[in-house]
């Protein structure tokens, strides 16, 4: 398995200092020494784990690999010595740890001595995590018991081989009616416990990308603000514009006829006053853009709150997938909240920019964000913060999911966790609102001091329809309510909520 990843690159094996062991192990288990000798003759290994230093795709790392043929890849005292030595080697050399896991769990012939190796591994993992060193696990068939619960599931990123048996409960200790899919790589992916199921032929490239993205890194600059994308069918944009709220590009639209709800696009509108100033460092009073190469005409800003909402809800407006595809040549998704939940309406992961710099991303896809989505977002932001990788968030949601199932899944606590992850982040967080900014469900993923908005977005304390209902206003007054809420892009800049409008 090591050769599959390192190719012709040399792998240098390391061994911990030998320790004396009593005959037949700590329990004096009859036949244990003989079983070890047979396993060694069969596999050519002295223990169930091999570790050392190597390179994958030109990225140095510490590799550890389980040999399942040696007593089922089980963890005993000597295995614990090797595992903790591998973590210590990664810590000393500041190299990422790559674990290739295939184990049946703790070694029965060593009893509680074997079981307590899990505590040693957990402590070594914590030390590595505190030092900002990434851990990647590739889980193979089978990965069960304590090995899954420490080296496997405890890694920052978990990749699985197709069809691998994965679970805390091994095949012989499960309930007789247990669904086998739940214990498969694919089932664990569906449950948000595995980040990706990767075929063997694609594994080396995937691991190399992850090693590049996770680092360790030196100080990295903030994530650049993405360029605005045109609605579907519109020509691409070449130039970014900078306008100020007081000039004709914003105030001058007040006398224009409002657009029909959901249909007015940027095409055909008079462009705003053009400029070259980028969003970075702009004063809150300015409406600016990130100076990426774009094309075509600059869309005018919405004249009314009703128009701003309609444009944000226009189905032709580009969504998160389009923005991420434009921003990253390479994307490495993280999947799930590690608590059994997933949210297809929220995308998280790490990506590599065209210059090779890594950026972590959290992107809402225009749907109500579910508790699992907020937990996945918090997981991603905290991982990026620990590894020193800047974060980009794309805000686009009508609000947090508010159905009964969302409440049972802990919506309030999950949103609070996302707020806390952003607030505690030491790395820079860049936010672009690309569509709907629906109340706290959107704000939970927004940077407090580096939020930008597109011309086809709005951000509001509450949706205008709900505000009108709460105020007992007629539906016909929804537009006026939207105006009162001051939710347009230019309003957000004037209020100091957004730093710039990206056009």
**What is the DSSP secondary-structure string of 341-380?**
---TTEEEEEEE-TTS-EEEEEEE-SSPBPHHHHHHHHHH
> Which tokens sit at 364?
């809402």
Nearest to 273 by CA among 244, 304, 302, 251: 244
50 SS3 class = strand
Interatomic CA distance for residues 29 and 111, integer angstroms:
9
Task: Say if residue 142 is preceded by a cis peptide, omega within 30 of 0.
Answer: yes
Place of tokens 């730093």: 499
Nearest CA to 481 among 461, 464, 466? 464
DSSP assignments along 79-107, one per residue = HHHHHHHHHHHHHHHT--EEEEEEE--B-
pLDDT tens for the chain, 503 residues: list them.
Answer: 898 999 877 899 999 998 999 999 999 999 999 999 999 999 999 999 999 999 999 999 999 999 999 999 999 999 999 999 999 999 999 999 999 999 999 999 999 999 999 999 999 999 999 999 999 999 999 999 999 999 999 999 999 999 999 999 988 889 989 999 999 999 999 999 999 999 999 999 999 999 999 999 989 999 999 999 998 767 665 444 333 343 333 333 333 333 333 333 333 333 333 333 333 333 333 344 444 333 446 778 999 999 999 999 999 999 999 999 999 999 999 999 999 999 999 999 999 999 999 999 999 999 999 999 999 999 999 999 999 999 999 999 999 999 999 999 999 999 999 999 999 999 999 999 999 999 999 999 999 999 999 999 999 999 999 999 999 999 999 999 999 999 999 999 999 999 999 98
Q: How far is 158 from 139, CA to CA, in rounded Å?
A: 7
Quote the tokens at residue 294.
Answer: 């774009």
Which residues are paired to 392 by β-bridges?
361, 430
Given a contact cutoff of 8 angstroms between Cβ atoms, the answer to whether 50 and 67 are in contact is yes
The span from the CA of 253 to the CA of 427, in Å, is 38
Determine the Cα–Cα distance for residues 354 and 378; give it in Å rounded to an integer: 26
pLDDT at residue 80, rounded to an integer: 97
3-state class (DSSP) for residue 42: helix
Tokens found for residue 352: 């590599």
Q: Which residues pair with 103 in a beta bridge?
A: 143
| pLDDT at residue 159, rounded to an integer | 98
Characterize the bridge pairing of strands 196-197 and 330-334: unpaired
Distance CA(467)–CA(49), nearest Å, equals 61
Calculate Rg over the CA atoms of the chain. 27
Please confirm whether the linkage preceding 216 is cis (ω < 30° from 0): yes
Instruction: Give residue 1's pLDDT.
Output: 84
Query: For residue 290, which of 229, 224, 217, 366 has the smallest C-alpha distance?
Result: 224
Asked if 128 and 135 touch (Cβ cutoff 8 Å), the reply is yes
pLDDT at 66: 97
Q: Which two tokens stand for residue 139?
A: 């889980």
Q: What angle do CA 138, 143, 145 make, to 5 degrees?
A: 130
Tokens of 259: 């657009």
What pLDDT, on the 0 to 100 scale, is given for residue 365? 98
The model's pTM is 0.87
Q: At a CB cut-off of 8 Å and minimum separation 6, what does 10 contact?
A: 54
The number of angstroms, rounded, from the C-alpha of 34 to the middle of its chain's C-alpha atoms is 47
Give me the pLDDT at residue 232, please. 76
pLDDT, position 320: 98
> CA angle, corner 179, sides to 174 and 180, nearest 5?
80
* CA 500 – CA 230 distance, rounded (Å): 17
The DSSP annotation for 163-189 comes to T-BEESS-TTSS-TT--GGGGBHHHHH
Burial class (CB in 10 A: 0-12, 13-18, 19+), 389: buried
The H or E element containing residue 78 is helix 77-93
CB atoms within 10 A of CB 470: 10
Q: Please state, in angstroms and as integers, the Cα–Cα distance from residue 203 to each residue in 2, 60, 67, 353, 409, following that order.
A: 11, 16, 18, 21, 34
User: Are 265 and 214 a contacting pair, CB within 8 Å?
Assistant: no
How far is CA 474 from each of CA 50, 265, 469, 481, rounded to the nearest angstrom? 71, 28, 8, 10
Can you list the alpha helix ranges (DSSP code H) found in 167-234? 185-190, 200-214
């Amino acid at each position: 398995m090591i050769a599959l990843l390192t190719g012709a690159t040399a792998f240098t094996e390391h061994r911990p200092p030998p320790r004396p062991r009593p005959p037949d192990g700590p329990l004096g288990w009859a036949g244990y020494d003989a079983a070890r000798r047979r396993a060694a003759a069969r596999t050519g290994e002295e223990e169930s784990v091999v570790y050392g230093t190597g390179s994958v795709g030109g990225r140095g790392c510490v590799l550890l690999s389980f040999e399942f043929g040696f007593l089922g890849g089980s963890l005993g005292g000597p295995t614990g010595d090797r595992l903790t030595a591998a973590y210590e080697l990664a810590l000393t050399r500041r190299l990422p740890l790559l674990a290739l896991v295939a184990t049946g769990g703790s070694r029965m012939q060593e009893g509680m001595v074997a079981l307590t190796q899990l505590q040693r591994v957990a402590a070594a993992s914590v030390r590595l995590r505190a030092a900002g060193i990434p851990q990647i696990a590739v889980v193979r068939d089978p990965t069960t018991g304590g090995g899954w619960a420490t080296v496997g599931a405890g890694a920052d990123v978990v990749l699985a081989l197709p069809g691998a048996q994965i679970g805390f409960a091994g095949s012989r200790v499960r309930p007789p009616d247990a669904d086998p899919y739940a214990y498969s790589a694919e089932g664990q992916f569906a449950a948000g416990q595995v980040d990706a199921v990767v075929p063997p032929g694609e594994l080396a490239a995937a691991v190399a990308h992850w090693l590049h993205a996770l680092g360790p890194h030196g100080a990295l600059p903030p994530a650049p603000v993405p360029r605005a994308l045109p609605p579907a069918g519109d020509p691409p944009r070449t130039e970014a514009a900078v306008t100020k709220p007081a000039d004709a590009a914003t105030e001058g639209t007040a006398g224009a006829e409002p657009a029909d709800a959901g249909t007015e696009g940027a095409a055909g509108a008079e462009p705003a006053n053009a400029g070259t100033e980028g969003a970075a460092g702009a004063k809150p009073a300015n409406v600016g853009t990130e100076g990426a190469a774009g094309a075509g005409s600059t869309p005018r800003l919405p004249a009314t709150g009703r128009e701003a909402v309609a444009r944000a809800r226009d189905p032709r407006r580009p969504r998160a997938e389009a923005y991420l595809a434009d921003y990253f040549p390479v994307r490495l998704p993280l999947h799930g909240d590690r608590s059994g939940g997933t949210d297809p309406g929220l995308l998280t992961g790490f990506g590599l920019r065209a210059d090779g710099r890594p950026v972590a991303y959290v992107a809402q896809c225009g749907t109500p964000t579910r508790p699992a989505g907020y937990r996945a977002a918090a997981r991603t932001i905290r991982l990026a913060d620990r590894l020193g990788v800047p974060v980009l968030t794309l805000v686009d949601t009508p609000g947090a999911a508010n159905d009964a199932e969302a409440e049972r899944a802990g919506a309030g606590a999950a949103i609070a966790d996302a707020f806390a992850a952003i607030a505690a982040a030491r790395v820079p967080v860049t936010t672009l609102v690309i569509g709907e900014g629906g109340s706290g469900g959107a704000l939970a993923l927004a940077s407090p001091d580096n939020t930008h908005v597109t011309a086809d977005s709005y951000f509001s304390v509450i949706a205008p329809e709900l505000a009108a209902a709460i105020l007992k206003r007629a539906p016909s007054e929804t537009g006026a309510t939207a105006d009162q809420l001051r939710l347009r892009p230019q309003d957000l800049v004037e209020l100091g909520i957004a730093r710039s409008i990206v056009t």
